[in-house]
Amino acid sequence: MHVTSSVREPLITGGKTLKDVTHDISRQVEAKPSLGWLLAFLFSVGVLLLGSIALVATLWEGIGMWGLNKTVGWAWDITNFVWWVGIGHAGTLISAVLLLFRQKWRMAINRAAEAMTIFAVICAAMFPVIHMGRPWLGAYWALPLPNTFGSLWVNFNSPLLWDVFAISTYFAVSLVFWYIGLIPDFATIRDRASGIRKTIYGALSFGWDGAAKTWSRYESVALILAGLATPLVLSVHTIVSFDFATSVIPGWHTTIFPPYFVAGAIFSGFAMVLTLMIVTRKVFHLEDYITIGHIELMNIVIIITGSIVGIAYITEFFIAWYSGVAAEQYAFMNRMFGPYWWAYWSMMTCNVISPQLFWFKKIRTSIVATFILSLVVNIGMWFERFVIIVTSLHRDYLPSSWAMFYPTISDIGVYLFTFGLFFTLFFLFAKFFPVVNMAEIKSIVKSSSEKVIK
Amino acid sequence: MERDKNFILGVYDDEDVLLDAISKVRGSGVKIHEVYSPFPVHGIDDVLGYKRSKLPIAAFLFGILGTTLALVMQFYMMKIDWPMIIGGKDHAAFPDFIPVTFELTVLLAAFGMVGVFMIASNLKPWGQPRIFDIRITDDKHVMAIDLAVNSSLEESQLSDVLKNSGASEVNFKSFE
């Protein structure tokens, strides 16, 4: 028997039946592309092509095309890398952690959030690969492959190498998790289709038969994958933070980095999920599945993680003072009042102050306010990484080598390229894949919809 | 009559009716071939008498394999094959090997388990499932009963059992 407390808000509104769920989600896949989608898609492809000019120029000429110098050897590239990886944290968090906690509201958003994760990780991985300068040789530097140097192996003591393993494992496991969830929905589309479409979705559905035995195995696979993905998602940004925390640069060498980075990643990831879902639900008329209740819950996650990030900023300052290390103290004063003060205060405003507005119920249940604040958070989180990376490097221990970092057109272009890539992939996904997990939604139609079906 | 060819199908609209029906049908001595659903129905394994899946064991074994391979690889490369002093650390800097070991454990456990799942459930891109009723991926649950396995009962008796259990339709399906 299904028993749901009457104080719980319904997760599905509009009195949907199982057939309605199939219809509402599948029709986006089956319909001809709308003009709006086509324009948005072509725009993303345009951005992708424009950005690829900068990418090709960088690969042709070398990393000298970027604004890096002897003092600031890491700037936009690694900022963008950490930013994209951070965005890539929400998807698996939603599908894995919320599955373990039996949070049913995840079901409406996990598919799109996981897709976002996968595309964001692809964008993130671009930067270290490009930064190698000669990416076609990169496999020898990043993977333990036998080589002609007498098998001089990669350095397993280096956090950069741990990152290679962490990011690629995260990508691979997220992809599998996402695809396993897609199989039953592809079968639904297969059974509604005919002709070539039936062949394609038939192949994508892997011959899914919907038998009770298969569902039973499917559920146990989903549960174990969630159990594996939960520590994995926490490990990824932890290891990303080790790239900085294990070095001896003032402002980087702190033990608070792993939890602080993980909270920041979830914070920015949820903001990006909101940005994308608010648009998707509007364009595809999914208001009955992604309700204001879903948006409010995501905003609550943003308040929590945003506040953790805020406390982490303050803790860093306190510890810099308390440590009594002059270089550390200077690094933090320089962040606040140095030449990059504007980046620091943008970060503080966007990440610490703006999410606190979500304490007001009116704001966290307003779609317009949520959309704007989700963009603000994403901008803030980009500045956070920029502040940590550039302000710590540009004035280090040796004042004679102090310098400023100025991005070049290639820096901007390569960042644009990843935006083009991300949105091109996301629009393709939104058109050709079911954006909401139909099978999971159907399993809660009876218990969590507004009107219980008889 | 040959087995696995001719089936009588009970179509159900509701998962709770289905769960009751499975108990009733099994209680009247009918052997159910399989039940097909558009979504995972909780508690269906118990009423059908299915044992718990052994996939978690597969995941564990693949995970152990990942841990072992990762540690052997790192110790071999860093300590035996080409020892180098890096940052004054021991060649076999065990704590430094933990992150990669963890990642490879997760990677092998996930891929190994999913691989076993694919093989066990016969999922492959060129797979052609036997579709008893096209609506099982939309909004209906279908209980399939093999006529040959239950040859002690007449078709009309089976049909009555299904109808009495709450089936909204009773159909027949034959495969070549």
Q: Supply the pLDDT for residue A454.
A: 39
Proportion of chain B in helix, strand, coil states, percent, rounded to 5: 50, 10, 40
Token pair belonging to B150:
């239950």
Q: Which residue has the tokens 């509604």?
A: A192
**CB distance A22–B77 less than 8 Å?**
no
CA–CA dist A342, A156 (Å, integer): 38
Confidence of residue B153 (pLDDT cuts 50, 70, 90): confident
**A3 φ, ψ (degrees, to nearest 5):** -125, 125
A vs B: CB pairs below 8 A: 191
Q: Which of A26, A157, A436 to mutate to test the interface with B (most CBs of B within 10 A)?
A: A157
* Nearest-Cα residue of chain A relative to residue B118: A206
Fold for the domain defined by B6-52+131-174? Alpha-Beta Plaits (3.30.70)
Tens of pLDDT, residue by residue over B81-130, are 888 888 788 888 889 999 999 999 999 999 999 999 999 998 988 988 88
One-letter amino acid for residue A101 of the chain = F
Q: Supply the pLDDT for residue A453.
A: 41
Q: Which of A25, A176, A206, A232 to mutate to test the interface with B (most CBs of B within 10 A)?
A: A206
Regarding an ipTM greater than 0.85, the answer is yes
One-letter amino acid for residue B46 of the chain = D
How close A437 comes to chain B (CA, Å)?
Answer: 10
Q: Which residue has the tokens 């192949």?
A: A203
CA–CA dist A155, B74 (Å, integer): 9
Q: Supply the pLDDT for residue A450.
A: 59
Torsion angle defined by CA atoms of residues B137, B141, B145 and B146, in that order, rounded to the nearest 10 degrees: 0
One-letter amino acid for residue A364 of the chain = R
CA–CA dist A4, A447 (Å, integer): 6
CB proximity B87 to A under 8 Å: yes
**CB distance B55–A2 less than 8 Å?**
no
Cβ distance A378 to A351 under 8 Å?
no
Contacts of B77 in chain A (CB under 8 A): 144, 151, 153-154, 156
CA–CA dist A307, A300 (Å, integer): 11
Q: Supply the pLDDT for residue A5.
A: 62
Question: Quick one: which of A172, A312, A300, A177 has its CA closest to A241?
Answer: A312
* Nearest-Cα residue of chain B relative to residue A164: B100
What part of B 123-142 touches A (C-beta under 8 Å)?
Answer: 123-131, 134, 136-139
Contacts of A434 in chain B (CB under 8 A): none
Q: Taking phi first (over 0 means left), then psi (-120 to 50 degrees means alpha), and beta for anything else, what does residue A93 get?
A: alpha
Q: Supply the pLDDT for residue A315.
A: 93
Question: Quick one: which of A269, A395, A417 has its CA closest to A330?
Answer: A395
Q: Supply the pLDDT for residue A178.
A: 93
Contacts of A16 in chain B (CB under 8 A): none
Token pair belonging to A86:
């951070």
Token pair belonging to A367:
């779609």
CB proximity B21 to A under 8 Å: no
Contacts of B113 in chain A (CB under 8 A): 221, 224-225
Contacts of B97 in chain A (CB under 8 A): 156
**CB distance B125–A206 less than 8 Å?**
yes
List Cβ neighbours of A436 (8 Å cut-off, separation of 6 or more). Answer: A25, A107, A108, A109, A111, A112, A286, A289, A290
**CB distance B39–A442 less than 8 Å?**
yes
Question: Quick one: which of A48, A45, A124 has its CA closest to A91?
Answer: A124
Residue B171 has pLDDT above 80, yes or no: yes
Domain ranges (residues) in chain B: 6-52+131-174, 55-120
* Nearest-Cα residue of chain A relative to residue B52: A216
How close A449 comes to chain B (CA, Å)?
Answer: 15
Cβ neighbours of B73 (radius 10 Å): 17
Q: Supply the pLDDT for residue A172.
A: 94
List Cβ neighbours of A262 (8 Å cut-off, separation of 6 or more). Answer: A89, A234, A237, A238, A241
Q: Which of A20, A185, A217 to mutate to test the interface with B (most CBs of B within 10 A)?
A: A217
Cβ distance A78 to A240 under 8 Å?
no
CA A133 to chain centre: 25
**CB distance B89–A232 less than 8 Å?**
no
Q: Which residue has the tokens 């901008």?
A: A379
What are B8's strand-pairing partners? Answer: B145, B172
How close A159 comes to chain B (CA, Å)?
Answer: 9
Q: Which of A4, A18, A233 to mutate to test the interface with B (most CBs of B within 10 A)?
A: A18
Q: Mean pLDDT in each 10-residue stretch from start to end of chain A (454 residues)?
A: 63 82 87 88 95 93 91 91 91 86 86 92 92 87 85 89 94 93 92 89 91 91 92 92 90 90 92 91 87 90 92 92 91 92 93 92 92 93 93 89 92 94 94 91 77 46
**CB distance A211–B36 less than 8 Å?**
yes
CB proximity B61 to A under 8 Å: no
Angle of the A367-386 helix axis to the A341-348 helix axis, nearest 10: 140
Which stretch of DSSP H or E encloses residue A126? Answer: helix A110-131
How close A194 comes to chain B (CA, Å)?
Answer: 13
CA–CA dist A146, A66 (Å, integer): 32
Q: What angle do CA B74, B77, B79 make, to 5 degrees?
A: 90
Token pair belonging to A327:
């270089």
List Cβ neighbours of A402 (8 Å cut-off, separation of 6 or more). Answer: A71, A394, A395, A396
* Nearest-Cα residue of chain B relative to residue A215: B40
